[in-house]
Amino acid sequence: MDTYTEVMDVESLAARITDGAKVAVFKENASPMDLTRAMIRRGVRDLHIVTVPTSGLQTELLIAAGCVATVETSGVTLGEFGLAPAFVRAVSNGDITIKDATCPAIYTQIQAGEKGIPFMPMWGLIGSDILANRPDFKVIDNPYEPGTPIVALPAIKPDVTILHAPFADKYGNVWIGQLAELRAMAHASKTCLATVEEIVDFNLLDDEKHAAGTIPSFYVTALAEARNGAWPLAVPGCYDIDGDHIANYRRMAGTQAGISDYLARHVHAVEAAE
């Protein structure tokens, strides 16, 4: 069986993400943290991050390291651990541009990108403050109910989707389980880069138990095996979140000096140790 997917190491995967790229990231249970740290070490800049629909430590670290120019999001927080300090400071200081949205809006925009259409309509934003801050969200007349307004949302077509999954096969098919949103993101994007806990020998698409939860290889540009590649976040069924580590980051991130110390210890020191 032919494969469409290149297999490489994580650092080589990070080299595929260029300055200024529009990068789609998923909420925390599919965050490729090893890849994120490699992106920071490489010094990528001016990224446009699209969170689908929210994000946490992954986007927080990219902002803390100065990699981000724009965040299109419905929320960036550390969840039970509190606010995301670097994100809050960057927004307050005007260091990044925020394109505010809602979870349903971002999902709708990704679906438009997946379908290859310029926009999709949505009801729920009518009367909200979101419209005042998003001139690219257009209120139009519903052609099927004249006189009734509806919002046209522009398609989101990322340059790259990055994700972490439990496993892929040697042919480049990636198993995402129930996280069907990841498939839509891969469909909508020009490229998809994945890290996985393990690369298995059998073909996922030939296996009835796994086929329905798999992104086929022709949507996956390249992948890398990265054991514990989502740490300190979780991979359901593989390992849990490292709450102590995230709580420690939250404490250190109270100051810029603390963030610099964290990045030196837990991001840049990794490369030196390898």
Q: Are strands 6-7 and 22-26 parallel, antiparallel or unpaired?
A: unpaired
What residues does each domain of the chain span?
A: 6-103+156-273, 119-154
Give the tens place of pLDDT for each residue, 233-271. 999 999 999 999 999 999 999 999 999 999 999 999 965
Annotate 54-87 with b (16+ C-beta within 10 A) or e (fewer): bbbbbbbbbbbbbbbbbbbbbbbbbeebeebbbb
List, in sequence order, every beta strand (DSSP E) within the chain. Answer: 6-7, 22-26, 47-52, 68-73, 97-100, 119-122, 138-141, 149-154, 160-169, 174-175, 191-200, 214-215, 222-225
The correct CATH number of 6-103+156-273 out of 3.40.1080.10, 1.20.120.80, 1.10.3720.10, 2.60.40.1120 is 3.40.1080.10
**pLDDT > 70? residue 185:** yes
CA end-to-end distance (rounded Å), the chain: 34
**pLDDT > 50? residue 69:** yes
Mean pLDDT of 144-150: 95
- The model carries a pTM of 0.96
Enter the tokens of residue 117: 């259409």
